[in-house]
């Protein structure tokens, strides 16, 4: 990889075929944490990469409500971004088909929320990635209070501009200030995965396969 910093567009192009497992392994190598707990795709659109735009919700009582709605937030979000909704893991829906369609028509790449969702059937019929912790008809008791602030979404810290890699296994957050390091590790891990697959297919000695497995846990450039 070149020492010259990559543009966000180049980074997203590199990430588009990366699996969440490779991203996770890269974060582990660097001593970072960035995976969301229990947030999975609601429908068949189960792969998305993009940069986050954060939205924070809080309980309705005693908190100043923002002067904007989720729809005005979506309208002010750049196409290609992924909306990340921090609801405190609310056990109610905070989005449904209308919000998903608003994001889709705005050109967003997807929505990730630590809440539940409603209108599941309609969202599943869309070719649009929506990630939540599940489905519920229970209405929300929270309100939108802020945007573009650091949030915690299902156990992962997210800042606007961070990179997300999401697929059928879940959502991984890569801090934007560490993206170049993470990409180096991802490239090494992907090559080791190919080497391991070939070793398994060729019936290589168990010692060789275990050596590759150990190597996947070690940061590139260090000795096993």
pLDDT in tens, the chain (224 residues): 456 668 999 999 999 999 999 999 999 999 999 999 999 999 999 999 999 999 999 998 766 666 889 999 999 999 999 999 999 999 999 999 999 999 999 999 999 999 999 999 999 999 999 999 999 999 999 999 999 999 999 999 999 999 999 999 999 999 999 999 999 999 999 988 898 888 888 888 888 888 888 887 888 856 55
Which contiguous run of DSSP H or E holds residue 194? helix 179-201
**Are 106 and 127 contained in the same domain?**
yes
Structural domains in the chain (count)? 2
Tell me the whole-structure pTM to 2 decimals. Answer: 0.91
The boundaries of the domain holding residue 138 are: 33-174
DSSP state of 63: S
**Are 120 and 191 contained in the same domain?**
no
- Distance between CA atoms of residues 114 and 107, nearest Å: 22
**Are 155 and 52 contained in the same domain?**
yes
> Are the CB atoms for 117 and 96 separated by under 8 Å?
yes
């Amino acid at each position: 990889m070149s020492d010259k910093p990559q543009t966000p567009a180049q980074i997203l192009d590199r990430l588009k075929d990366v699996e969440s497992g490779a991203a996770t392994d890269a974060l582990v190598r660097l001593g970072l944490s960035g995976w969301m707990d229990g947030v999975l795709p609601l429908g068949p659109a189960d792969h998305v990469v993009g940069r986050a735009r954060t939205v924070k919700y809080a309980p309705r009582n005693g908190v100043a409500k923002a002067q904007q709605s989720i729809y005005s937030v979506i309208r002010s979000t750049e196409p290609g971004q992924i909306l990340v909704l921090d609801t405190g893991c609310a056990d109610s829906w905070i989005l449904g088909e209308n919000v998903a369609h608003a994001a889709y028509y705005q050109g967003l790449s997807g929505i990730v929320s630590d809440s539940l969702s409603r209108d599941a059937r309609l969202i599943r019929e869309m070719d649009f990635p929506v990630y939540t912790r599940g489905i519920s008809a229970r209405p929300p008791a929270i309100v939108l209070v802020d945007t573009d602030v650091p949030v915690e979404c299902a156990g992962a810290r997210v800042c606007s501009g961070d990179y997300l890699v999401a697929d059928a296994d879940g959502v991984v957050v890569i801090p934007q200030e560490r993206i170049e390091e993470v990409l180096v590790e991802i490239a090494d891990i992907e090559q080791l995965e190919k080497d391991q697959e070939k070793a398994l297919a060729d019936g290589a000695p168990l010692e060789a396969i275990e050596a590759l497995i150990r190597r996947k846990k070690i940061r590139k450039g260090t000795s096993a």
